[in-house]
Structure 1
Amino acid sequence: MTRKIIAIVGSYRKEGIVERAVEAILEAAAERGAETETVRLIDRSIEFCTNCRTCTREEGPQRGICVHRDGMSDILDRVEAADGIVLASPVNFFGVTAVTQRFIERLLCYAYWPWGKPMPALRVKDRGLEAVLVTSSAMPAALGRVFTRSLSSLKRAAQTLGAKTAGTLFVGSAALRERQELPQAILDRARKLGHELARQRTEPEPLN
């Protein structure tokens, strides 16, 4: 059965570092027979979550229904139909971009949180979805992993979607030039992650 891989990209720059890294992942997945799709959040209408909690009140495994009638429902339908997801955002002011944060906040619909309950609970912890997380930073990768929150935010988003993180890609020193090429090591890592997302789960684990 063909695996479906969807990328949710929260970059403001088309063909920027993050988007090109995502393209490399999806191209590698497609080489192994996967069906791929990219959703650019900047092109979609996504309203702010107002914390009204309407979407959290009904019990059950299905995501709650948001009061906003915008593009978010279509995005989540596509995510739920996928086998793998790439969540991607560059670092902006030590965290994810604002449009990515808006997307993440709207994932509250995957929690059950009626009035009177002190904390939300995930409706489903494991939906059989695998995630790859992609980010970039002006800092070298070793420092960026420590001093920025981007990967941790993307990981929480993946968990909320019921996905297991299969791997991460951090592109460091990404602001040295206006148009910067991806290092070969990053491209190699991206291809490996794409192949992993495309691998049928009945296949044996790779030896290396």
Structure 2
Amino acid sequence: MDTPVNILAIVGSYRKAGIIERAVDEILSAAGKAGAVTRKITLIDKNLAFCTNCRSCTQVAGDHFGVCVLDDDMTSLLQEVNHADAIILASPMNAGTVTAVMKTFIERLVCTAYWPWGAPGPKARRPEKSKRAVLVASSAAPGIIARLTGDVTKRLESAANMLGAKTIGTLFIGLAAQQQHQELSKRIIIKARKLGQKLAVHN
């Protein structure tokens, strides 16, 4: 019998039970029903300091993530990523890109690179994509306009790559601010559940 797929969701929304978190919950629920083990982390609940660009974490070679000098929750977050077979990265679009808390998380992912002083550029510590990722984003604008004018999915996919994950699906929710307490459409729920079922299956 196959070991259950371990799925970790990292949510960069400021609104609990908002559009983004409910979409993620639909994905996780479907994955759980398909046999996966799921966990959700909300970044606003974590202590994440800003990256200071000291590059201390990039100096030692190896396929392990570099050790940050900042004493906060980032180390435990990366440990959870290490244990996951698949990840979900989720953020609403603010000012054309990911939220500030998701951007803070992404900037801290410099530890996924080996970049000693004197080297012309960084090299990925884990160039192989052994994990899978699903991206979830939303915008008040229509989806097609938001994806053309913003870079939220590009930023999330870049983060997935740094974490050693290949993106296998994206859920983008346009017109997400038509009502104060907006419901997910039936189409979005169906797509979310399909993505959850897809993540729950081993490669």
TM exceeding 0.5: yes
- What is the RMSD computed on CA atoms of the aligned residues? 0.6
CA drift of 1:127 comes to 4.5
CA drift of 1:126 comes to 2.0
Match of 1:204 in 2: none
Q: Write the mapping of 1:128-139 to structure 2, written as runs, cut at 5 A.
A: 128-139=130-141
1:181 to 180, 183, 186: 183
Query: Partner letter of residue 192 of structure 1?
Result: K
Q: 2: distance between equivalents of 1:115 and 1:27?
A: 45
Does residue 82 (structure 1) correspond to residue 84 (structure 2)? The answer is yes
Identity value in percent: 51
CA drift of 1:183 comes to 0.6
Q: Is the 8 A contact 1:126 1:164 kept in 2?
A: no
Q: Is the 8 A contact 2:9 2:39 kept in 1?
A: yes
Query: Partner letter of residue 35 of structure 1?
Result: V
Runs of 4+ off more than 4 Å = none
Q: Which runs of 5+ in 1 are unaligned?
A: 202-208
Match of 1:206 in 2: none
1:49 to 48, 51, 69: 51
Q: Is the 8 A contact 1:88 1:154 kept in 2?
A: yes
Q: Is the 8 A contact 2:129 2:161 kept in 1?
A: no
Q: 1: distance between equivalents of 2:116 and 2:127?
A: 18
Match of 2:107 in 1: 105
SS of residue in 2 equivalent to 1:131: strand
SS of residue in 1 equivalent to 2:92: coil
Q: 2: distance between equivalents of 1:174 and 1:166?
A: 23
Q: Write the mapping of 1:1-208 to structure 2, written as runs, cut at 5 A.
A: 1-201=3-203
Q: 1: distance between equivalents of 2:173 and 2:199?
A: 19
TM-score, normalising length from structure 1? 0.95
